[in-house]
Structure 1
Amino acid sequence: MLGHLSKTNNYPELALRTVISILEMNGVRDGEDIIIDIAHRDRVGRVQSI
């Protein structure tokens, strides 16, 4: 879960792409090995089950 995203410097899509890129470089696949989601500042997100 990506959180604490800045309103001006670190928008959600950039943070998500950056994290997914780093994970992929290390052999971790989003949606298969791990699920990455964003905790938005201005709206309710998806329900997460652990």
Structure 2
Amino acid sequence: MDRRAQAPAPPPPACTQCARLNAAQRAADARGDHSRGVDYRVLLRRHQDEAHGGER
């Protein structure tokens, strides 16, 4: 069973913080650093909850 966290939804188009965190998560996953990718997914979801009222 694949236990990796699911990637969050794409960022809202106008949010640079969402875009930055999403790009960092994709880059980490692309280089095989899945632990760091999960860290960025957590940070992105936390940011979305705080800045966008939970928008995902």
TM-score by length of 2: 0.34
TM-score, reference length from structure 1: 0.36
The structure whose Rg is larger is 1
